[in-house]
Amino acid sequence: MAEQQFSSLPGTTHNFASCINKIIRNIDTVSNVPKPLAIFLLLGLLFLLICHIVITLYLVIFLTFRTRHELKKQIRGIQTSLGLRDAGKEV
């Protein structure tokens, strides 16, 4: 059933939302957790997932930019020490 829902790409968001709705509707029969608490926990997990993705993307982009910047500085220093570049100008 899940394979059938997620097999088509264009309606993936709608299928994901309907899957979450089914979980919320059937949560009373599955566990002894009250429905509002279960919804709160699901929203909390979704929030944590989004935070994790955002922080990971930020760190990857930030560290990539920083690494490139550091490499450029090191290359300029090596070029200057080899005499390929003047202190303030390119040769």
The pLDDT tens digits for 16-54 are 778 777 777 777 666 677 888 888 888 999 999 999 999
- Cα(24)–Cα(3) distance, integer angstroms: 20
Q: Which pLDDT score, from 0 to 100, does residue 88 have?
A: 63
Please indicate, yes or no, if residue 38 is contained in any of the structural domains. Answer: yes
pTM of the model: 0.50
> How many domains does the chain divide into?
1
List Cα–Cα distances, 81 to 33, 35, 58, 71, 86, in angstroms: 68, 68, 35, 15, 9
Please indicate, yes or no, if residue 16 is contained in any of the structural domains. Answer: yes
The boundaries of the domain holding residue 27 are: 11-82
Please indicate, yes or no, if residue 87 is contained in any of the structural domains. Answer: no
Per-residue pLDDT, averaged over 54-69, amounts to: 86
Q: Which residue has the tokens 């699901």?
A: 42
pLDDT at 79 over 80: yes
